[in-house]
Amino acid sequence: MDALKHKPVIIFFAVLLAVMAAAYLLHSFNPPQRLPQRIDEIDNDSAFNYIIRDQQGKMLLMAGLQVQVNDEFITEDNLRYSS
């Protein structure tokens, strides 16, 4: 009878171990993308502020990261801008 009391606990930890092993394997085969460089990792000569303006010349955003093709920006008024 003692074996039946411990069976759910054993199954729980077996499933937990399987999930942890699967997460580890997925992470090792498909690592997360590298984050953008921090400003202190960039040479001072190449550190810029990028100003994004709309068609009328109004400043929308000032960013420390370089703007790439297909980047999108959504304003607080829920207007979407894309490059």
Supply the pLDDT for residue 76.
85
Whole-structure pTM value: 0.38
Supply the pLDDT for residue 63.
81
Q: How many beta carbons lie within 10 A of that of residue 52, not counting itself?
A: 14
Tens of each residue's pLDDT in the chain, 83 residues: 566 677 888 899 999 999 999 999 988 888 777 777 666 666 655 557 788 888 888 888 888 777 788 888 888 888 888 76
- Amino acid identity at 38: R
Q: What are the distances in angstroms from CA 60 to CA 27, 46, 57, 66, 68? A: 37, 22, 9, 15, 16
Cβ atoms 66, 52 nearer than 8 A:
no
Of 60, 65, 37, 36, which Cα lies nearest the Cα of 49?
65
Supply the pLDDT for residue 21.
96
